[in-house]
Chain A
Amino acid sequence: MSSFIDLTATLRLPRAPDEEDARALAAAAKAGGFHTVVVSARGQEAVDVDSLSALLRELEGHGVRLIPALAPVVGTELADVVSMVKSLPAGTPRVLRLRAAIDDALLLRRIGDLARGLDALVIVPSHDAALMKGALAVEGAVATRLGLSGVPEASEHIAISRILEVSKLTGARFHIAGVFTERGAALIESAGDPHVSGSVFASHLCFDDSALLTFRYETRVLTRPPLPTSSSRIALRAAVKRGALLASSGHHFIPKRERDLEMNRATPGMTSLASAARILGLPIAPTPFSPADLLRALSSGPAAALGIPAPDLSSDPSRSAAVVDDLFRLANDFGGGT
């Protein structure tokens, strides 16, 4: 049995043969050891009953549980969101995913009120939208040297502070996806709010912004949020090890043709779901991760955030062990280390 849960996968509507469809995503999830994936559909209207129904039908029978995340946006009617959430099959966790960061605290409060009423988890980006606009890297020496627009690390602190306060105000559950700074991780941990969890993307555990210098102007190292600084990456890994942050694939499939673009035109995203599982193997070799750390970060932690039972690892421990063993093997294939 696969045992991992991914909270933040993104599915593109197929536009070309090399783009990922639901079938490909499900296959990748199985290969990567994921049994549950929360998926948003890009390029789709926020509330589109027909598209969502078609997506769910397509995802049936692939052996992977896929939970659709709805995307309330400005202009969406409250009644539409409610009716959409209620149309999900019984027992399906309710998830609202904000595609873009929301700087407006009043709007965030309304979404929190809505989510609490629906008992839905709200997955939110970790940054402030205004400060992130146009950013390709975290502000600092690397961004300055390469002439890339930077986002200040304070962007995350501001956004997480706002989310924590709105959670207190509304009682809604929030999951902050894509934490990329040491201060952001520390803020979530120190708040100790049971309604607020955070996760860091696999790419951000494995690479820091020095990769931008190594792979100069290559779009495969372009991520949203940008790759962390070296010190933040170390702190993020330590936070995952302590259980203060969850790990997530940060899945964002990019067609090969977009790899040829200039950085300011390319879609950020470096990992597929399967390759995320592979690179998540990197931090466990040789340490600081233990297999137990990794399983918690990728299974029971996300399950708690979603409000669903944790995957039953005891039903087939040899398979779970095989998955973890496989990650160690892959880690060795990558040469191990950091």
Chain B
Amino acid sequence: MTSTLSQPHLLGIEGLARDDACLILDTARSFTEVNTRALKKVPALRGRTVALLFFENSTRTRLSFELAAKRLSADTLSFSASTSSASKGETLTDTARNIEAMKPDLVVVRHEASGAPWLLSRVMRGAIANAGDGQHEHPTQALLDAYTLLECWKRSAAQGLAGKTVAIVGDLSRSRVARSNMLLLPLLGAKVRVAGPPTMIPAGLKEVYDVDVYDDVDEALFSGDPVDAVMMLRIQKERAGTAVMGSDRDYAFGYGLTAARFAQLKERRNEVLVLHPGPMNRGVEIDAAVADDDASVILQQTENGVAVRMAVLYLLAVGMTQRDRGAAVEGASS
């Protein structure tokens, strides 16, 4: 395996080679060790500038990327749409060009529009890391989810997730977390079942992803081989509107990970893991007691997110350095 990514940006899991995914996960493991030290800082990105462009609200992803950049000793430029010219009508590309003038090396972007990181990759020189674009992808969330599963199951990235079954339940239509996980988990060898209300299952799902699709959550969770991990997705009321679902209570009854469903899961697989990308709607997609159960690895996901994002930033920077050196050598020889 090489020590650099084969692509200049991390725009999504789509197109990510398994070797690249494993490289990120292996590198994250070494940064996990850094995060356990008393002095949680390494000089890997000293002199580099990371621009954090959050055009959409975020708590954990933003803090996680910021902490990751700081623990790598990078300088950070922070941007939020509510306090920027974007709120005055400036276009994304105009904002990007102005930030580009400040010469950031790495750009972390979250945006409400699917494809926004692609747009930026066309106008900015720095390496782009997608921190969530619309309902398209959230690659670092999927990587930290996979990393958490590997850690819990004491497996290396090379061993992958073969033999494990993961169920993803919720609003598959609007979830960028689901899209990235539906690509990454099968790439690492897991069997993936996805379930949600029919109004939240996008057309063509089986054509695009190597997953089994259910509109009955009980069938997804309780038929066939026992599920090893279940990932509950947040109901995204800000995107979904009210027309595609009934009341919160109806949703919890039909699709939530209730205490009763959780008990049945444990009967089938006692060591079952529960994941959630957060923020949680307790009592809707997940029962509060389940979220706080020992089987829940939700806080581990958050903790692992820092190491995974350190790995992503570090590897993008390494790739950038190598390309710059290559260009310099080419320029000198021509």
Contact = CB atoms under 8 A, between A and B. Distances in A.
Given A140-B204, A146-B115, A260 B91 contact: yes
Given A139-B203, A141-B207, A261-B91, A147 B119 contact: no
A72 interface: no
Interface stretch (A103-111, A262-270, A276-284, A310-318): A262-270
B212 interface: no
A263 B115 contact: yes
Given A262-B116, A264-B134, A145 B91 contact: no
Interface residues of B, number: 27
Contacts of B9: none
Interface on chain A toward B: helix, strand, loop, or mixed SS? loop
A146 B92 contact: no
Interface residues of A, number: 23
Given A144-B204, A260-B93, 19 more contacts: A130-B243, A141-B203, A141-B207, A144-B203, A146-B114, A146-B115, A146-B136, A148-B114, A150-B202, A152-B203, A216-B115, A217-B115, A261-B93, A262-B115, A262-B116, A262-B119, A263-B113, A263-B115, A265-B91
Contacts of B288: none
B207 A147 contact: no
B114 to A, nearest CB: 4
Interface of B: 14, 91-94, 111-116, 118-119, 133-137, 176, 179, 202-205, 207-208, 243
A150 B172 CA distance: 13
Interface string A237-266: 000000000000000000001001111110
B115 A139 contact: no
B196 to A, nearest CB: 13
A152 B173 CA distance: 13
A141 B93 contact: no
A140 B93 CA distance: 29
Contacts of B94: 260
B228 to A, nearest CB: 26
A146 B137 CA distance: 9
B262 to A, nearest CB: 29
A143 B92 contact: no
Contacts of A139: 202-204
A231 to B, nearest CB: 13
Contacts of A144: 202-205, 207-208
Nearest to B96: A260
A144 B202 CA distance: 6
B205 A217 contact: no
Nearest to A216: B118
12 contacts: A130-B243, A141-B203, A143-B202, A144-B203, A144-B208, A145-B208, A147-B114, A150-B203, A216-B118, A260-B91, A260-B93, A261-B91
A169 to B, nearest CB: 28
Given A216-B118, A262-B92, A262-B119, A140 B136 contact: no
Contacts of A147: 114-115, 133-137, 176, 179
Contact of A217 (B119, B179, B203, B208): B119
A338 interface: no
A257 B113 CA distance: 18
A264 to B, nearest CB: 5
B313 to A, nearest CB: 23
Contacts of B203: 139-141, 143-144, 150, 152
Q: Which of A145, A152, A263 has the most CB of B within 10 A?
A: A145
Nearest to A153: B203
Given A147-B176, A217-B119, A261-B91, A141 B208 contact: yes
Contacts of A263: 113-115
B81 to A, nearest CB: 12
A245 to B, nearest CB: 24
Contacts of A155: none
Q: Which of B14, B179, B208 has the most CB of A within 10 A?
A: B208
Nearest to B205: A144
Given A146-B115, A147-B137, A217-B118, A261 B207 contact: no
A140 B201 CA distance: 11
A141 to B, nearest CB: 3
A332 interface: no
A261 B137 CA distance: 19
A143 B136 CA distance: 10
Contacts of A149: 135
A291 B334 CA distance: 54
Contacts of B133: 147
Contacts of B118: 216-217
Contacts of A216: 115, 118
A148 B111 CA distance: 14
A103 to B, nearest CB: 13
B298 to A, nearest CB: 24
Contacts of A140: 203-204, 207
A267 to B, nearest CB: 13
B114 A261 contact: no
A143 B204 contact: yes
A141 B136 contact: no
A181 to B, nearest CB: 13
A261 to B, nearest CB: 6
